[in-house]
């Protein structure tokens, strides 16, 4: 008894085609992004997805560190896809914050901004005289978020950190993988990406509060603590048991859920949270006797029961191709997924409809894909407009448009090395088929 009319309506209101006809929730919010690598840039990009004007400030020349890093060092069209991933819709400003004139320009921007995002080792901003202490004096409405490995205060305050340091410190790795093997350094930087999601949430909460009261505030978010929060009930479990959490591979200790190999050699994940899901699974398998043997959820979670249930699912999955199992999940109502590869995700038309696999035309890179924002809003949807630009690409736009500098003044700033552009070095130059001199935006 599906409600087709509802899906027609939902497809219409969430239509990918209509996104640019709709308002942006963060229109008018200006963000100064002085972060680098992943966690800070992702936080600022999430704000930019919803219409905030984000100015990414980089040191002239080499710019940000992640420009030197790419998957397998391939540097498609001279650029890092890692950088593309977390640099969405931003204005790229090559500004030397160590130059007195650069700092003066920065302070002027702070007066006209709403949010500042940074993720240097705690204390660095203080030395540069651009910490919350300094900037809240200039702009008390400013929301200033500092993101770090372990926090602005506490015994690890000045520890440098990378994503995996957060994974290692938080217990996230120690609970992942298999007993007796090296714990898993989880892929794609979850310390940064999950941390960026939470940092984004914290900034929005502060914006909401500011809208009511007019006051800005300071926010302290860390990689390690954020991952620890994701471990949720695991802490309570080990505190009651007084022993460590075992690494269980794909087996979920708290629900009937595990991964199995299909007839065609794919890894298929099966999960049943509620009684109804489990019933659907048993019916799909033609093993209703499991329902009678283990009538309630708690009985199914006991280790011996779980072993038996998992063996039965394993035997069944092994008799079908992965896609057949997925079809059965739609019919019977249990959770089934395939451990897909990136090409399968890229080609998934359903995800393209949802704007999750975001196909678009980029002003620099041409036909492009992006990771669309996962928060699908009906009235103020997120959108990807463009991805990374070279260092200083929007210098003239920012200086003229926001701060009213003249061509002569800009020339002077260039000569004094207060502002600057990219260098001819891997990960920095525009795509080979793109000429910035022909772009009015660059020449503004």
Partner 1 sequence: MEWHEFSKEYFEIERAKLKPGPLEGVVVLDVSYASPAATFASALLAEMGAEVIKVEPPNGDELRKLSPFGEIYLNDTGLPFLVEGRNKEFITLNLEKEEGREIFRRLALHADAILESFEPGWMDSVGIGYRQIRETNPGIVWVSFSAYGSFGRDAERFSKVPDSNLFGVSMSSYMEANRELPEAGEPYNLPTAPGFWMATNVAGVYAAAGVVLALYYRMKSGKGQMIDITSLDSMIHVAPSVFWSHAHGEPLFVGVLPLDYAVFPYAYWKIKDGYVFASGFTDPNFKALITQLGAEELFEKYPNVFARIKLENQKVLYQELAEKFEQLTFSDLTKRMLEWREQNREGVAVYMKVTTPTEVLEESYWKERGDFRDVKVGDGTIKVIEPVWRLSKTPLKFKWLAKRVGEDNGFVYKRFLGLAGKDLEELKNAGLI
What is the footprint of partner 1 within residues 122-151 (CB under 8 A)? Answer: 122-123, 126, 131-133, 146, 150-151
Kindly indicate which of the ranges 93-101, 106-114, 341-349, 391-399 contains the residues binding partner 1, using the contact rule CB under 8 A. 341-349
Name 307's Cβ contacts closer than 8 Å, sequence gap at least 6: none
Kindly indicate which of the ranges 96-104, 333-341, 413-421, 433-441 contains the residues binding partner 1, using the contact rule CB under 8 A. 333-341
Distance of CA 251 to CAs 177, 246, 271, Å?
10, 11, 10
As measured in angstroms, the least distance from the Cβ of 365 to partner 1 is 9
Instruction: Select from 214, 242, 286, 432 the one that contacts partner 1 (CB under 8 A).
Output: 242
Instruction: Select from 62, 97, 128, 184 the one that contacts partner 1 (CB under 8 A).
Output: 184
Instruction: Select from 245, 360, 434, 444 the one that contacts partner 1 (CB under 8 A).
Output: 245
State yes or no: residue 402 binds partner 1 (CB under 8 A).
no
State yes or no: residue 410 binds partner 1 (CB under 8 A).
no
Of 145, 50, 21, the closest CA to residue 375 belongs to 50
Q: Assess contact for 400 and 74: CB atoms under 8 A.
A: no
Chain residues 354-393 in contact with partner 1, contact rule CB under 8 A: 354, 356-357, 368-380
Distance CA 442, CA 393 (A): 6
Kindly indicate which of the ranges 335-343, 391-399, 403-411, 413-421 contains the residues binding partner 1, using the contact rule CB under 8 A. 335-343
In this complex, which beta carbon is closest to partner 1, that of residue 14 or of residue 444? 14
**Cα 45 from chain centroid (whole Å):** 8
Distance of CA 302 to CAs 107, 196, 289, Å?
61, 37, 17
Chain residues 276-305 in contact with partner 1, contact rule CB under 8 A: 277, 280, 296-303, 305
Per-residue binder mask for partner 1 (CB under 8 A), 199-228, x = binder: xxxx-xxxxxx-xx--x-xxxxxx--xx-x
Instruction: Select from 97, 175, 291, 441 the one that contacts partner 1 (CB under 8 A).
Output: 175
Name 18's Cβ contacts closer than 8 Å, sequence gap at least 6: none
Residue from 192, 310, 407, 435 carrying the catalytic annotation: 192
Name 399's Cβ contacts closer than 8 Å, sequence gap at least 6: 105, 405, 409, 410, 413, 419
Instruction: Select from 62, 186, 402, 410 the one that contacts partner 1 (CB under 8 A).
Output: 186
Can you tell me whether residue 395 is helix, strand or coil? helix
In this complex, which beta carbon is closest to partner 1, that of residue 221 or of residue 398? 221
Kindly indicate which of the ranges 6-14, 106-114, 397-405, 415-423 contains the residues binding partner 1, using the contact rule CB under 8 A. 6-14
Chain residues 23-42 in contact with partner 1, contact rule CB under 8 A: 23, 25-26
As measured in angstroms, the least distance from the Cβ of 206 to partner 1 is 6
Instruction: Select from 33, 58, 64, 70 the one that contacts partner 1 (CB under 8 A).
Output: 70
Instruction: Select from 62, 128, 248, 291 the one that contacts partner 1 (CB under 8 A).
Output: 248
Name 155's Cβ contacts closer than 8 Å, sequence gap at least 6: none
State yes or no: residue 50 binds partner 1 (CB under 8 A).
yes
Helices 275-285, 322-332: axis angle to 10 degrees equals 130
State yes or no: residue 249 binds partner 1 (CB under 8 A).
yes
State yes or no: residue 429 binds partner 1 (CB under 8 A).
no
Strands 366-371 and 357-362: antiparallel
Distance CA 160, CA 416 (A): 32
The answer to whether 433 is a known catalytic residue is: no
Kindly indicate which of the ranges 93-101, 308-316, 339-347, 411-419 contains the residues binding partner 1, using the contact rule CB under 8 A. 339-347
Distance CA 52, CA 92 (A): 14
Q: Contacts for 72-80 with beta carbons within 8 Å, 24 or more apart?
A: 75/426, 75/427, 77/365, 77/431, 77/432, 78/426, 78/427, 78/428, 78/429, 78/430, 78/431, 78/432, 79/365, 79/388, 79/427, 79/431, 80/388, 80/427
In this complex, which beta carbon is closest to partner 1, that of residue 104 or of residue 339? 339
For 321-351, give one letter per residue: b (16+ CB within 10 A) or e.
bbebbbebbeebbbbbebeeeeeeeeeeeee
As measured in angstroms, the least distance from the Cβ of 441 to partner 1 is 23
State yes or no: residue 308 binds partner 1 (CB under 8 A).
no
Chain residues 98-117 in contact with partner 1, contact rule CB under 8 A: none
State yes or no: residue 253 binds partner 1 (CB under 8 A).
yes
What is the full DSSP assignment across 200-211? HHHHHHHHHHHH
Distance CA 398, CA 395 (A): 5
Instruction: Select from 162, 360, 434, 444 the one that contacts partner 1 (CB under 8 A).
Output: 162
Instruction: Select from 350, 361, 408, 424 the one that contacts partner 1 (CB under 8 A).
Output: 350
The site that binds partner 1 (CB under 8 A) totals a number of residues, namely 187
Residues annotated catalytic, as ranges: 192
């Amino acid at each position: 008894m599906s409600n087709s009319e509802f899906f027609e309506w939902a497809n219409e209101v969430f239509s990918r085609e209509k996104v640019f006809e709709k308002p942006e929730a963060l229109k008018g919010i200006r963000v100064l992004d002085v972060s680098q690598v992943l966690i800070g840039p992702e936080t600022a990009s999430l704000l930019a997805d919803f219409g905030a004007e984000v100015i990414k400030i980089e040191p002239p020349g080499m710019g940000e560190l992640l420009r030197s890093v790419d998957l397998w060092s391939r540097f498609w069209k001279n650029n890092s896809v890692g950088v593309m991933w977390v640099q969405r819709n931003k204005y790229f400003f090559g500004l030397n914050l160590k130059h007195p004139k650069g700092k003066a320009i920065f302070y002027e921007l702070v007066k006209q901004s709403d949010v500042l995002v940074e993720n240097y080792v705690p204390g660095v901003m203080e030395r540069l005289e651009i910490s919350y202490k300094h900037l809240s004096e200039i702009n008390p409405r400013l929301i200033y978020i500092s993101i770090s490995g372990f926090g602005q205060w506490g015994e690890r305050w000045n520890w440098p950190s990378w994503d995996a340091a957060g994974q290692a410190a938080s217990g996230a790795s120690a609970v992942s993988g298999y007993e007796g093997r090296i714990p898993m350094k989880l892929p794609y930087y979850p310390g940064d990406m999950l941390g960026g999601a939470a940092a984004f949430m914290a900034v929005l909460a502060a914006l909401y509060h500011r809208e009511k009261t007019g006051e800005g505030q300071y926010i302290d978010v860390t990689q390690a603590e954020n991952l620890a929060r994701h471990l949720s009930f695991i802490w309570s479990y080990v505190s009651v048991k007084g022993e460590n959490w075992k690494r269980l591979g794909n087996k979920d200790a708290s629900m009937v859920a595990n991964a199995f190999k299909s007839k065609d050699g794919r890894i298929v994940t099966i999960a049943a949270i509620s009684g109804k899901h489990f019933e659907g699974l048993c019916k799909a398998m033609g093993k209703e006797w499991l329902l009678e043997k283990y009538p309630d959820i708690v009985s199914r979670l006991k280790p011996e029961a779980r072993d038996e249930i998992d063996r039965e699912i394993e035997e069944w999955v092994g008799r079908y191709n992965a896609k057949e199992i997925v079809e059965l999940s739609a019919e019977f109502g249990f959770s089934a997924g395939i451990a897909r590869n990136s090409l399968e995700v890229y080609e998934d038309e359903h995800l393209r409809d949802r704007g999750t696999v975001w196909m678009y035309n980029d002003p620099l890179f041409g036909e492009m894909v992006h990771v669309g924002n996962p928060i699908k809003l009906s009235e103020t949807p997120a959108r990807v407009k463009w991805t990374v630009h070279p260092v200083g690409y929007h210098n003239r736009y920012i200086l003229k448009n926001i701060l009213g500098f003249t061509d002569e003044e800009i020339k002077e700033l260039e000569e004094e090395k207060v502002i600057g552009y990219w260098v001819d070095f891997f990960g920095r130059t525009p795509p080979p088929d793109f000429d910035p001199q022909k772009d009015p935006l660059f020449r503004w």
